[in-house]
Structure 1
Amino acid sequence: MKDLGSLTYFLGLEVHRSPSGISLNQHKYASDLMATARLQEVASVDTPMKLNVKLRKEEGDLLADPSLYRKLQVSQFLQTLCHLHLAAVCRIIRYVQGTSARGLFFPASNSPRLATYSDTDWASCADTRRSITGWCVFLGDALTSWKSKK
């Protein structure tokens, strides 16, 4: 084994240590995502989606070249890739750009308190009428695990 010193970067996470605690963020990953989408010079937005937007499978014109959409590793609507879907992904990336310096902070003096929350939205998918459910887990004040699923 070889000692590589203090951990600064691991699996897309930047690690910063200080006497007050440890912080994790994905600023480099977000920057790489912006470069892939060719959105470096575009201003960030305050919300990931516009209010009450519900995307459907077959909505709008199909993309002539869906390679960018696939490079961004998006998993929704892969069978019918439309311009509206790509526009939504680009908006989400612009939101990530504005929040990329934010991250998780684990205070050194924080006593570990575990809290979990969950919610569901019954039959909210316009195409399949499937429900959407989600949950999150906090350790202290830091969100450590979450999931949203149709």
Structure 2
Amino acid sequence: MYVVVYVDDIILTVNDAKLVHAIVHKLDIEFALKTLGSLKYFLGFEVHRTDSSIHMSKDKYVRDLLIKTSMSDSKLCSTPMALGNKLTFEDSELLDKPSLYRSTIGALQYLTLLRPNIAYSVNKLTQFLKAPTQLHWQACKRLLRYLKGTTDFGIQFTKIQRFHLECFTNNDWAGDIQDRRSTSGCCLFLGSNILQWSSKKKKVVSLSSTEAEYRALAQGAIEIT
């Protein structure tokens, strides 16, 4: 069994080296190929291998984003979002450069593919793309300051002894002070390796904290299934 992912480059993942060479040879007959060897960098993803693990990060991607937003010389921050920070649609004056906010949030959304720890913050900030304010941009800059001190953070996959699925869920009941909808989080693990994660704002209002937790639990059950 093999998997092919194609954008501008191709990644082959297979447990048989001979099969890899056979696939590359057949493709090379039809297309001009350049074999780059073991995977090290792909679409902003940096891959570091050891005998027992694979570590994936976006160090260069984060540093380029800090340069783009003029945050390279900013002070570090220990958390991605201030505790108790309640952002709303009209919490301050409108931002004079909304396009900068939108492009930065778009870049941060791509970064969440390897950074589960910023999923909630990015999900929250995406809710104000239509009309970002000064406070929204301040919250975004705080997240960038946090990323500056954690550029090497990412996802690590290690060898596991048995295939054991485990899922964790949580819910911020009525967390949005404007519409009182909840935000739920979900993390799915295979052994010690995280496979999937999400932070989503619910489409309906939960009438109790129990109902909100059951909704999050149901979502976790769906992911496991």
TM-score by length of 2: 0.62
**Whole-angstrom CA distance in 2 between matches of 1:37 and 1:120:** 32
Give how far 1:30 is off: 1.1
**Whole-angstrom CA distance in 2 between matches of 1:58 and 1:133:** 24
Give how far 1:131 is off: 1.2
**Whole-angstrom CA distance in 2 between matches of 1:13 and 1:96:** 16
Higher RCO structure (Cα 8 Å, ≥6 apart): 1
Q: Percent identical across equivalent pairs?
A: 41
Tell me, yes or no, if structure 1 residue 113 matches structure 2 residue 145.
no
Matched letter for residue 132 of structure 1: T
CA contact (8 A) 2:98 2:131 kept: no
Match of 2:40 in 1: 8
Match of 1:63 in 2: 95
Matched letter for residue 101 of structure 1: D
**Whole-angstrom CA distance in 2 between matches of 1:10 and 1:139:** 24
Of 175, 183, 192 in structure 2, the residue corresponding to residue 132 of structure 1 is: 183
Match of 2:143 in 1: 92
Match of 2:130 in 1: 79
Give how far 1:79 is off: 2.2
User: Which sits farther off after the overlay, 69-78 or 130-139?
Assistant: 69-78
Of 65, 79, 84 in structure 2, the residue corresponding to residue 47 of structure 1 is: 79
Deviations 1:53-96 (A, max 9, x none): 11011110111222211220262212221110001001011111
Say what the alpha-carbon RMSD is for the aligned residues. Answer: 1.6
Task: Decide which structure has greater strand share.
Answer: 1
Larger Rg computed on CA atoms: 2
**Whole-angstrom CA distance in 1 between matches of 2:54 and 2:131:** 42
Give how far 1:7 is off: 0.7
Matched letter for residue 131 of structure 1: S
The gaps in structure 1 that reach 5 residues or longer are: none
Task: Decide which structure has greater helix share.
Answer: 2
**Whole-angstrom CA distance in 1 between matches of 2:191 and 2:86:** 34
The gaps in structure 2 that reach 5 residues or longer are: 1-26, 28-32, 107-124, 202-225
TM-score by length of 1: 0.90
**Whole-angstrom CA distance in 1 between matches of 2:80 and 2:149:** 10
Matched position secondary structure for 2:127: coil
Count residues in correspondence: 149
CA contact (8 A) 1:21 1:105 kept: yes
